[in-house]
Structure 1
Amino acid sequence: MATTIRTRTSSNGHSHGNGGGLLVNLRLLGLLLLLLLQLGQLAYSLETQNQNTQKQLNLWPMPKHVNYSTSTLFIPSHFHLITQYADVSSILKDAFASLLTLINLPRATANNSKSKSPLLLLQGLNVVVSSTNEQLQYGVDESYHLSIPQPDPSKPLYAYLQANTVYGALHGLQTFSQLCRFNSKTKTVELNRAPWTIIDEPRFSYRGLLIDTSRHYLPLPVIKSVIDSMAYAKLNVLHWHIVDTQSFPLEIPSYPKLWNGAYSNSERYTIADATEIVSYAQRQGINVLAEIDVPGHAGSWGVGYPSLWPSKDCQEPLDVSNEFTFKLIDGILSDFKKIFKFKFVHLGGDEVNTSCWRTTPHIRKWLRRNGMNGSEAYQYFVLRAQRIALSHGFEIVNWEETFNNFGKKLSRQTVVHNWLGGGVAQKAVAAGLRCIVSNQDKWYLDHLDALWQDFYSNEPLTNITNPNQQKLVIGGEVCMWGEHIDASDIQQTIWPRAAAAAERLWTPYDKLAKDPREVTGRLAHFRCLLNERGIAAAPLAGPGRVAPEEPGSCYQQ
């Protein structure tokens, strides 16, 4: 750190004093220079220490506040949960049972309950949850306070986890799991650097990951594995792009022929499957955002109901002139309301080419009768679909084209989903609408040339300085489009790049590294942790979905 010294002269520009005074002043100046140099070195040391702390702590994403020391504790085989929380749905109990597996406690064969240093045994985890409300919705309190105190010879040692909701407690358990490491030499589970104090909460309430089950079907165990991995990184919204042009794999009881558009009978999701996915995600603090992408990405709908197509040879967008189109959308959203508990539904609205409408005789006649051109009919379709969603109690997410084309006409309950590039979030919040950031040049996982460093550096609040407008950016989402992704390669395409975005969305802005190189070691450690937990995360070196270049440690790849 460079230190600049500025000296002042008297107001008339002359130096003060005589020769003896000059010598004293020179000595004082020397002492002052030395003091300033030492202060500069101290400031540099503190800054370096803070940077080194960020590098050395193997926590991902980095919590809001962390304090720790140097003691090592051991997790005994009888490590247990203590709580007065009602836990009606057994969410906390099941999460604690999973925690024991995550920290490799079943592998610990040494009888550390008879350790020579019994005071270093962490006997259990005391969890206090303030609210008994287990409803998971957008904006739920996800904060937690985790403390592991200094050993006291007079009493057993316990860790303490306090949260306002069970979902905050789940995040605390994930953080606790990262403090523990299995020592293969001693056959014990260690918790290093105790005592700990961690106070944490997310920066953004919406931290999403999109999966696409239309381009390739993803079996239920694969989707559950993705949900598991999201929880490890504290992502909290699974955006399920269920259907698209290529296939319609979901059962819709109101219109049972829709899933005739699936690739095959075995590549389908029943209502029970969808309900199971929602429940599985909810128990890990993850909402499921369901999407039907209308009117432009819906060619598969017409396999079961051909009247939805403008014509057999021109199948998209959905027929805007046909009342059955909107009756069917109403039926889908009515069924969605019984399955998907998130308050938002995604209605798509992107990449709409209206040429089919303009070239199909009966639709062209309808346009003329209603005094509309193609773009006006596009607006009519989107706004009518929005009204249907609102009638079912949903708030709406639409891709950014709807805002770019007719933003002022959108429902004020619309969330604009940015994907094409920068600057859209700034315009959307200036118009008073909420926004989700997923700009494709930074946060599209199917772009295999995109580096994790770019995922880490992508800032959702770029050029948004007004605090009220900043609040309208509800978060961000990384997108795993499925054209070249299936069950065989999805996880190594998602991770570790999605984790880089996850820290951007969780960690306070002032705690984020200005240079992604500062977090390389910590992210590499998290990637290896994912591998240990059965998540096929790819190496950091290179772009997305690369293989290891040569033999070596996981931590060096």
Structure 2
Amino acid sequence: MAKLSELRICFYILNQLFLILIVTASAATNVGKLNIWPMPLSVTNGNGVLYMSKDFELRTEGSKYKDVSGILKNGFSRLLDVIKTDHEIDVSGHGFPYLPKIQGIHVIIVSPSDELHYAVDESYKLTVPAEGNPVYARIEANSVYGALHGFQTFSQVCYFNFASRGLEVRQVPWDITDKPRFSYRGLLIDTSRHYQPLPMIKKVIDSMAYAKLNVLHWHIVDAQSFPLEIPSYPNLWKGAYSDSERYTIMDATDIVSYAQTRGINVLAEIDVPGHALSWGNGYPQLWPSKDCQQPLDVSNDFTFKVIDGILSDFSKVFKFKFIHLGGDEVNTSCWTQTPHVRNWLKNHRMTESKAYEYFVLRAQNIALSHGYEIINWEETFNNFGSKLSRKTVVHNWLGIGVAPKVVASGLRCIVSNQDKWYLDHLDATWEGFYMNEPLTNITNPNHQQLVLGGEVCMWGENIDGSDIEQTIWPRAAAAAERLWTPYNKLAKDPREVVERLSHFRCLLNQRGVAAAPLNGPGRVAPYQPGSCFRQ
């Protein structure tokens, strides 16, 4: 019996050694390959592997941040969920007891505040030692939002091992120092052209966090529909497509809160005076006439009372320092075709173009009165840039030549040039998204500081809940690295990042995000059977 027991022990040890060889071989396949997206400011790593303890924990000793709102704890919980990707984990620890284990993450945050404001410090430092007693990863950050970015990066060096049925951290030791290149890294979604269900909006927010994007530009209303409840003017959402395709004001509050816990600001937009036909379904007096329904009636003070009411309600929900007031594609012919508006123009000695300027500037003043700074589409700058409030950010979308002029004038700018960063342009390739540089032709360092960042735009004319994710991803991820990673760390040729971006796209798929293959523009389908990593 003693010899049988010894044989069993020997067999057990041999089995454990075999498992260790499998684990090591599996980890070795990744040696030398950095599959982190977006690429950090600086990173060094080794070729070791750590087994994640079944009691993998969050420690916060020494942190000034007390996590009263639970942002850090919930972020850690989400981290564990995305690492597991719904695999059944062998929690017994019997899979490989002889491998070194990592016990958890020790997070130290300098700021006690969890206020999410524009240009909040998003930097972090992540270290994962290869050995120690015990072994803990360590994240140091000035804000909780930097720590959340550290979680995202850590999640990308963790793997499920199919031999051991356990979770691993590979390529240890890690030493990563990171911060974003631009403070504004946005994604626009359009809920007027097609309604987006709340769960889908939240999925988009989750996927933004994976790529370290930090502003959800919510283009809530447009000519086609007005889906949001406005308590001050409750008939406005009569412009919704249907009773079930609406958002309550509490829904909006929930979206803002959901995004905030992931380090994402929500930028609300009401586009005025054009793109507002749907407003008149609830209040027909906002139309110049029944036969000529947009832009909004510039001659009617009620128009500006409604804008004031909307922004008053917004100020209670949307806490981001900026509000987007649109101002693009305004066809003023309706004003001159409508007798009472034409008479108003004559009495005020205004041309159509001056009335357009008057409308935009009056709307800006209303926004300023509610404590907002303003973002306007570039037509406002092209037509009367010197008259805009100095608290205006000009949103470039028509081409690459406007941004240098904006910053030379002393105004701030966000870049979304449509030839490269419009996701609804299905002929636009991920390579074009990656190579689009916000600072093109801006060489003066003072002017460069006025470029807040950029934004990819998911306009909704041909997008709904069935195809939004695969139209956004992975092309938005290509832009995300452009906006996060230092310029000197960016690839000069997009072919250099194909493998790493493909890995990130497959990671999104594993996390339940319907990201399309890289092979082709827009939202292409897989072209043949094969590995996700070769699509």
**TM-score band w.r.t. shorter chain:** over 0.9
The secondary structure found in structure 2 opposite 1:240 is strand
**Aligned-partner Cα distance in 2 for 1:116–1:473:** 52
Alignment of 1:454 with 2:443, yes or no, is no
Alignment of 1:397 with 2:375, yes or no, is yes
- Percent identity of equivalent pairs: 71
Q: Which residue of 2 aligns with 1:74?
A: 51
By how many angstroms is 1:54 displaced?
12
Structure 2: stretches of 5+ with no match in the other structure: 1-29
Q: Which residue of 2 aligns with 1:420?
A: 398
Alignment of 1:196 with 2:177, yes or no, is no
Residue identity matched to 2:89: A
Q: Which residue of 1 aligns with 2:120?
A: 140
Q: Which residue of 2 aligns with 1:83?
A: 60
Residue-by-residue CA offset, 1:498-530 (whole Å, 9 max, x unaligned)? 000000000000000000000000000000000
Contact 1:110 1:186 in 2 (8 A): no
**Aligned-partner Cα distance in 1 for 2:96–2:223:** 62
Contact 2:89 2:165 in 1 (8 A): yes
Q: Which residue of 2 aligns with 1:107?
A: 88
Contact 1:278 1:287 in 2 (8 A): yes
By how many angstroms is 1:74 displaced?
1.0
Contact 1:55 1:519 in 2 (8 A): no
Structure 1 residue aligned with 2:360, among 382, 400, 422? 382
The secondary structure found in structure 2 opposite 1:112 is coil
Structure 2 residue aligned with 1:491, among 456, 463, 469? 469
Q: Which residue of 1 aligns with 2:421?
A: 443
Map 1:209-224 to 2 at 5 A: 209-224=187-202
Q: Which residue of 2 aligns with 1:62?
A: 39
Contact 2:109 2:144 in 1 (8 A): yes
By how many angstroms is 1:77 displaced?
1.3
Residue-by-residue CA offset, 1:284-308 (whole Å, 9 max, x unaligned)? 0000000000000100000000000
By how many angstroms is 1:405 displaced?
0.2
Map 1:1-400 to 2 at 5 A: 56-84=33-61, 85-104=65-84, 107-109=88-90, 111-112=92-93, 115-118=96-99, 120-152=100-132, 155-400=133-378
**Aligned-partner Cα distance in 1 for 2:97–2:55:** 17
**Aligned-partner Cα distance in 2 for 1:406–1:117:** 71
Q: Which residue of 1 aligns with 2:444?
A: 466
By how many angstroms is 1:188 displaced?
1.5
**Aligned-partner Cα distance in 1 for 2:444–2:112:** 36
Contact 2:31 2:47 in 1 (8 A): no
Contact 2:270 2:325 in 1 (8 A): yes
Tell me: CA distance 1:100–1:298, structure 2 relative to 1, closer, same or farther (3 Å). Answer: same
**Aligned-partner Cα distance in 1 for 2:150–2:222:** 37
The secondary structure found in structure 1 opposite 2:238 is helix
Q: Which residue of 2 aligns with 1:7?
A: none
Q: Which residue of 2 aligns with 1:547?
A: 525
**Aligned-partner Cα distance in 2 for 1:112–1:449:** 50
Residue-by-residue CA offset, 1:117-137 (whole Å, 9 max, x unaligned)? 25x100110000111111101
Residue identity matched to 1:131: S
Residue-by-residue CA offset, 1:391-418 (whole Å, 9 max, x unaligned)? 0000000000000000000000000000
Residue-by-residue CA offset, 1:124-178 (whole Å, 9 max, x unaligned)? 10000111111101100000000011303xx211110000000000000000000
Structure 2 residue aligned with 1:523, among 495, 501, 517? 501
Q: Which residue of 2 aligns with 1:505?
A: 483
By how many angstroms is 1:107 displaced?
2.5
Residue identity matched to 1:175: T
**Aligned-partner Cα distance in 2 for 1:83–1:277:** 28
Residue-by-residue CA offset, 1:470-509 (whole Å, 9 max, x unaligned)? 0100000000000000000000000000000000000000
Residue-by-residue CA offset, 1:369-388 (whole Å, 9 max, x unaligned)? 00001000000000000000
More displaced 10-residue stretch of structure 1: 65-74 or 441-450: 65-74
**Aligned-partner Cα distance in 2 for 1:474–1:110:** 46
**Aligned-partner Cα distance in 2 for 1:555–1:443:** 24
By how many angstroms is 1:112 displaced?
3.0
Residue-by-residue CA offset, 1:399-438 (whole Å, 9 max, x unaligned)? 0000000000000000000000111110000000000000
By how many angstroms is 1:56 displaced?
2.0
Tell me: CA distance 1:54–1:467, structure 2 relative to 1, closer, same or farther (3 Å). Answer: farther
Residue-by-residue CA offset, 1:66-97 (whole Å, 9 max, x unaligned)? 01111111112110000143101000001101
Tell me: CA distance 1:358–1:55, structure 2 relative to 1, closer, same or farther (3 Å). Answer: farther
**Aligned-partner Cα distance in 2 for 1:79–1:204:** 33
Residue identity matched to 2:117: Q
Tell me: CA distance 1:54–1:109, structure 2 relative to 1, closer, same or farther (3 Å). Answer: closer
**Aligned-partner Cα distance in 1 for 2:468–2:155:** 24
Higher Rg? 1
Contact 1:83 1:127 in 2 (8 A): yes
Structure 1: stretches of 5+ with no match in the other structure: 1-52
Contact 1:55 1:521 in 2 (8 A): no
**Aligned-partner Cα distance in 1 for 2:208–2:104:** 26
The secondary structure found in structure 2 opposite 1:79 is strand
**Aligned-partner Cα distance in 2 for 1:418–1:200:** 28
Contact 1:81 1:127 in 2 (8 A): yes
The secondary structure found in structure 2 opposite 1:367 is helix
By how many angstroms is 1:191 displaced?
1.0
Residue identity matched to 1:474: L
Per the normalisation by structure 2, the TM-score is: 0.93
**Aligned-partner Cα distance in 1 for 2:143–2:477:** 24
Contact 2:125 2:141 in 1 (8 A): yes
By how many angstroms is 1:111 displaced?
3.2
Contact 1:217 1:267 in 2 (8 A): yes
Contact 2:57 2:103 in 1 (8 A): yes
Query: How many residue pairs are counted as aligned between the two chains?
Result: 502
Per the normalisation by structure 1, the TM-score is: 0.89
Aligned Cα root-mean-square deviation (Å): 1.2
